[in-house]
Structure 1
């Protein structure tokens, strides 16, 4: 087992090394420039479409809003609480800056993923809309690239059990045992029951639950985080200064913080940013492909909000709370560091609040990733195997909740990068299609607006 762990660790160092980080940022930057910074310029339009998207307007299975909430249910999770804290612990305050940069270029990546997902989606043998990297590779790039789509599906199906199941169940079990003394076996059984009640109903039920639970949990967490920032308002300016300063200069050792080079800030900021918002991994477009939308660009404009909400809003709250409260020099890491930051500012409440938030975040991530994983398996083996996959997914939760997942964390992190590779290659090759569809949409939109104004 030690030899296997060392091998995966070695592969992890390669796939999350400079080439991968440059590829993620490079493809995102290329798409952002090719789109003429449209995802940032049209952010307001995206939010407008999101609120209108509570009602479906085209073919699909779930509303555009619920498609976004399903994607967010998978992205807003342990990465927002434990991932941000780990990035700051290993890379210093400057890591938060590089998370922001990853998000700004990642908005273009997430937009392009959703555009391709809707444009190249198809119906499976059960009549459901399916899409995502494996389908836009097959239908957009042609048969000669089919192996690349299958590669993504294999990595996605396996990675789902790590990032979306075992890691999340383990996080819930550990935090509830630490804070409330709950037995991990009991937590595992309860999680199995709650998950079964949702995922056996398919994407319609997952979308309905996500559409209610995700907005509630995200707003509650952000409000609590804002209270922490108000309490530490006197240190907020210094915290922001540390973020920008240490993004380009090494962080010196301080208290329990061991210090970090600039490369560490970049590496852990980008890696944890991607782990949190999943821009480039190819997971979110699987959910957006099921949306009842007017067209690819409409859903793309909604999809890009996932990266903005996840990283620019939620991760920023976590990171600034950790830095402004002074907890970042404590020597703590992961969820314990975020918990310390909130508990320091909100004694007797903050720690419990993080425990509850982490549990809800992780549960919704289990729901979202169950759908991603089953669609990868469905692509490989057909819709007939999906019920069996859902049952296997439910059983795996118990083992995730009760096992030592140090190796699973490492394997999940490695497979995430291996999912990203075929997806990023496909997005680069399909970029002319994305640019063309986007240009035509806004040219048509502009003409419609001009006609409307003339009529008035």
Structure 2
């Protein structure tokens, strides 16, 4: 498994983690923003009117309303990325990463408008009478690139497990265990049954459930976030200032945070932005293809709102909670993850400017940084190291108050062998103070508001709702891809495997799944971006036709035209 994970990491280094990928993702969004004349700004108010049914017509084909399609798509994007993903971006890249998440969302509003419009235009009615759409259909039916459509559909199935299924329940189960002491297997079992009951009902039941969950979880999370931001109101302006001032320089060192270069913050911000709002990935168009609409552009309008709600509103709230509370620069007691731990040669102190600079170079992958990985032995007595000549880095920070524990809570005594910075003894727990990230960081931040320690409960409850709804939405994305690949007969077996994988992941290590997901996401994104670029002229003509017909029917002010002519 470790060899496979390393192979996937190597593949990912040429795909999503490569330097070119953020430029392609933002570049396509920028191109369409300019090519279509800033549709995310010009059509923003019109999109709200469409989503609430102002221009609906009776008898239009489809399975869901505009609002239900938007809720389903949002339930697929609003998940762990909004709670843990933002925290991870700030942890890795500092405040500057949040700026690049915003840029990804702003450009992504146009990208999503394009991909949803084109996918809706080429959707089909399946054997059971429901709609199926997504990039694979315009790749096949319009571009005549079935091979590309097959690659996209297979990547969608893989991503449904690696993005929407296994990591979501794994995060839920861990959060429930940490906060309430619930057994992960029990959590997984209960939620797997609920998941099965929802997704077996198909898109209509999925849409009915998500259209209820999304508003509830949104209100709950906003209230909790504002309780922290307003409690730390004196830090709002400094937090916003740091986001903009660091955007093109990288984030400077602060507290236990050792700093992030521009390249590091840019790459992590864009990648986390994509994971959060999925603009360009091609997943949301699958949900929007079910909407009742005879004008593909009208559903494209609705999708403009997704990155705005997901990233510019919810992710910004999470970011301001973390920045205004100051917890992102503080070290907190935690059990160290081996994947985040490195032992380096020499004694370093993060209160020393020279040491901070050297470690900044090392953590931001600067060549010739002078840091050497430690090789040797660490002698431990009663859980504490008694030798020196090395520094333990955990979560991109210098670890403090380090303890070595075995057999539950027993302090370890003996010798630890270290090779190339890795402690070789596996059956030992290493605990201490360091920076923390992901949902754990967000959880700590939510305790720094008007609700006090009780605020921490907002994160596991929010994560439960967010992540569970994400799993529901992605089951639909996967089954539409299965319909394209093998037909309706493959849907029920897929759903059974999907629920089984959901249960299994609740108590399993999903490191490999996360890595596989990273590769699959890019295998969805790159073909989709390539395809919509090829159809750029058709997109422009389709939008023009929409406004011509709309003005003829409703008038330029959106009210019904009396004589059928433009008003």
1:410 to 493, 505, 515: 515
Task: Give the aligned partner of residue 128 of structure 1.
Answer: 130
Write the mapping of 1:208-223 to structure 2, written as runs, cut at 5 A. 208-223=208-223
Give the superposed CA RMSD.
Answer: 1.6
Determine if the alignment matches structure 1 residue 292 to structure 2 residue 322.
no
Task: Give the aligned partner of residue 458 of structure 2.
Answer: 353
Structure 1 residues 141 and 228: CA distance shift in structure 2, 3 A: same
- Alignment deviations for residues 184-228 of structure 1 (CA, whole Å, 9 cap, x no partner): 010010111110110000000000001111111112211221222
Structure 1 residues 64 and 129: CA distance shift in structure 2, 3 A: same
Determine if the alignment matches structure 1 residue 67 to structure 2 residue 107.
no
Structure-2 separation of matches of 1:301 and 1:54: 12
Residues 120 and 289 in structure 2, CA contact (< 8 A), matched pair in contact too: yes
Residues 25 and 105 in structure 1, CA contact (< 8 A), matched pair in contact too: yes
Residues 54 and 66 in structure 1, CA contact (< 8 A), matched pair in contact too: no
Please state whether the residue corresponding to 2:52 is helix, strand or coil: helix
Determine if the alignment matches structure 1 residue 119 to structure 2 residue 121.
yes
Residues 56 and 63 in structure 1, CA contact (< 8 A), matched pair in contact too: no
Which deviates more, 289-298 or 101-110?
Answer: 289-298
Q: Which has the higher strand share?
A: 2
Residues 325 and 448 in structure 2, CA contact (< 8 A), matched pair in contact too: yes
Task: Give the aligned partner of residue 167 of structure 2.
Answer: 167
1:287 CA drift (Å): 0.6
Task: Give the aligned partner of residue 333 of structure 1.
Answer: 437
Task: Give the aligned partner of residue 25 of structure 1.
Answer: 26
- Alignment deviations for residues 323-358 of structure 1 (CA, whole Å, 9 cap, x no partner): 111111121100011111111223122111111001
Task: Give the aligned partner of residue 306 of structure 1.
Answer: 306
- Larger radius of gyration, structure 1 or 2? 2
Which deviates more, 266-275 or 254-263?
Answer: 254-263
Residues 132 and 290 in structure 2, CA contact (< 8 A), matched pair in contact too: yes
Determine if the alignment matches structure 1 residue 39 to structure 2 residue 35.
no
1:452 CA drift (Å): 5.2
Please state whether the residue corresponding to 1:253 is helix, strand or coil: coil
1:53 CA drift (Å): 6.8
Task: Give the aligned partner of residue 207 of structure 2.
Answer: 207
Task: Give the aligned partner of residue 51 of structure 1.
Answer: 52
Structure-2 separation of matches of 1:281 and 1:364: 19
Task: Give the aligned partner of residue 380 of structure 1.
Answer: 485
Please state whether the residue corresponding to 2:223 is helix, strand or coil: helix
Could you tell me the TM-score, scaled by structure 1's length?
A: 0.97
Determine if the alignment matches structure 1 residue 401 to structure 2 residue 506.
yes
Could you tell me the TM-score, scaled by structure 2's length?
A: 0.78
Residues 222 and 314 in structure 2, CA contact (< 8 A), matched pair in contact too: yes
Q: Which has the higher helix share?
A: 1
2:529 to 414, 424, 427: 424
Q: Which has the higher contact order (CA 8 A, sep 6+)?
A: 1
Task: Give the aligned partner of residue 91 of structure 2.
Answer: 89
Residues 228 and 448 in structure 2, CA contact (< 8 A), matched pair in contact too: no
Determine if the alignment matches structure 1 residue 268 to structure 2 residue 268.
yes
Residues 116 and 300 in structure 2, CA contact (< 8 A), matched pair in contact too: yes
Structure-2 separation of matches of 1:387 and 1:5: 30
Task: Give the aligned partner of residue 149 of structure 1.
Answer: 149
Residues 282 and 524 in structure 2, CA contact (< 8 A), matched pair in contact too: yes
Structure-2 separation of matches of 1:54 and 1:62: 15
Residues 116 and 434 in structure 1, CA contact (< 8 A), matched pair in contact too: yes
Determine if the alignment matches structure 1 residue 254 to structure 2 residue 262.
no
Structure 2 unpaired stretches of 5+: 331-434
Task: Give the aligned partner of residue 277 of structure 1.
Answer: 277
Which deviates more, 249-258 or 444-453?
Answer: 444-453
Task: Give the aligned partner of residue 110 of structure 2.
Answer: 108
